[in-house]
Amino acid sequence: MIKFSHTIFYVKDVSKTIHFYGAAFGIKPKFIHESNAYAELMTEGVALAFVSEDLAMTNLPEGYERNSIGRLPQACEIAFTTDDPEKWYRKALEAGAIELTPPQLKPWGQVVAYVRDPNGILIEIAGEMS
């Protein structure tokens, strides 16, 4: 048996990243390693975690494609669902997110917005499905 347990993003500064997700979405840290090279947020189900780029290089010495505000977002996203996407979209921007797409009603009846976190990670803020 195998179980999906974590999604991990490599970031320049784990502490700043954890602070951003707390300020933007009210998500508290579940675990922060004393080295500040690894942290997990208190999410339900699958853990959302962040690893420092320096530690990531010890795991992937050949390198990897880094997140960067100066480039297009990676082909993956963190998706949050809420009953008030407009509120959380504004909070994310106030906390330092980069605006991509303001909340829009999609043809399937869901309101969806997109921002990028300060690392360049793509975030979807979506309403409940109608």
pLDDT value of position 70: 93
pLDDT value of position 110: 96
Q: How many domains is the chain partitioned into structurally?
A: 2
- As a whole number of angstroms, the distance between CA 50 and CA 80 comes to 17
Among residues 38, 62, 86, which one ends one of the domains? 62
Average pLDDT score, the chain = 95
Residues in Cβ contact with 37 at an 8 Å cutoff, skipping those fewer than 6 apart? 14, 51, 52, 54, 55
pLDDT value of position 9: 97
pLDDT at 78 over 90: yes
- Which residue reads 């490599």 in tokens? 10
Pair (58, 78) in one structural domain: no
Mean pLDDT over residues 101-121, rounded? 97
pLDDT digits (tens, 9 = 90+) for 26-42: 999 999 999 999 999 99
Task: Please give the residue range of the domain that contains residue 19.
Answer: 1-62
pLDDT digits (tens, 9 = 90+) for 51-77: 999 999 999 999 999 999 999 999 999
Whole-number percent of the chain with pLDDT over 70: 99
CATH of the domain at 77: 3.10.180.10
